[in-house]
Amino acid sequence: MYPANFEYVVPSSLHEALTVLSESENAKVLSGGMSLIPLMKMRLVRPTTVVDISRLPGLDTITDEGDHIAIGALVKHAETGSNALIREYATALAQAAGVTADIQVRNQGTTCGSIAHADLAADQPAAVLALGAVMVADSVRGQRQIPAADFFVDTLTSALADDEILVGIDIPKGGRSAYAKLGRRGGDSDYPIAGAAVWIQGTDGSVADARIAVTGVSSKPYLASAAAEAVIGGNGSSDAIATAASHATDDVVVLEDLYGSVEYREHLAGVYVKRALEDVLA
């Protein structure tokens, strides 16, 4: 399978990349290509211009910015999964990155690329939702910040405009987080049939604040607010965790496919909310 023909542009600066995007009718941004190239090979996407940002300087770093951690657009899953700052301050994202797809994909694909692609069953979106991350979108019109809660619009649809590049993610420090999933090939390999990321803030077992995000079960990754409310203000008891798990799919339409029925996915969503909560409260 070959992609359809396209014009290949290697910009020498972010500004040049954004300019090409703003002037093109049907351009796509290429970094690791783990989502874009398969789509192009299957001719589900036929961009006239491909803007390869993978060699742009300065976008491949993870930095401590005081009150938050900043992840650049070109940071690959393998780096996100093993980086000490991410493991400490954004544990759920490190765990998600470590179980995304397989080793070859983690070596090539980027954290920001996965998020921009907005697959309904990707691992990263659940983590950034739970962590309350902020997406940094850039265009020739200027830079803007998009809260994770507003970023995932629908299946394969994010809040990014056609002329914008997701240049980074800012993750606020504070709290503890965890991610757990069941992969399509069993264990944690491949896309999640259901996965959950949780973030809590509190001391001595008390839960002052919490966010719980679920992926793989509905048309987009979502914040399960009823589940979070079940643990906020409590002491992380097993009863509270069980109540949270029972609200994992409140207010969403659960999808089914060859990997799992509606009933199975509803069950799994609760199981992985419970496991992620137990991990973070342990």
Binding site for other proteins (CB under 8 A): 1-8, 30, 33-34, 37-38, 40-42, 50, 52, 54, 78, 101-105, 107-108, 189
CA distance 134 to 241: 27
Query: Is the Cβ of residue 59 or residue 69 nearer to other proteins in the bound state?
Result: 59
Query: Is the Cβ of residue 34 or residue 69 nearer to other proteins in the bound state?
Result: 34
User: In angstroms, what is the minimal distance from the CB of 184 to other proteins?
Assistant: 11
User: In angstroms, what is the minimal distance from the CB of 189 to other proteins?
Assistant: 5
Q: Are strands 157-158 and 152-154 parallel, antiparallel or unpaired?
A: antiparallel
CA distance 108 to 124: 15
Query: Is the Cβ of residue 33 or residue 195 nearer to other proteins in the bound state?
Result: 33
User: In angstroms, what is the minimal distance from the CB of 107 to other proteins?
Assistant: 4
Query: Is the Cβ of residue 38 or residue 174 nearer to other proteins in the bound state?
Result: 38
Query: Is the Cβ of residue 39 or residue 242 nearer to other proteins in the bound state?
Result: 39
Angle at 270 between CA 242 and CA 89, to 5 degrees: 90
Query: Is the Cβ of residue 103 or residue 253 nearer to other proteins in the bound state?
Result: 103
Amino acid identity for residue 226 in this structure: A
User: In angstroms, what is the minimal distance from the CB of 37 to other proteins?
Assistant: 5
User: In angstroms, what is the minimal distance from the CB of 95 to other proteins?
Assistant: 15
What does R_g of the chain's alpha carbons equal in angstroms?
19
User: In angstroms, what is the minimal distance from the CB of 124 to other proteins?
Assistant: 17
Residue (of 66, 72, 199) closest to 127 by Cα position: 199
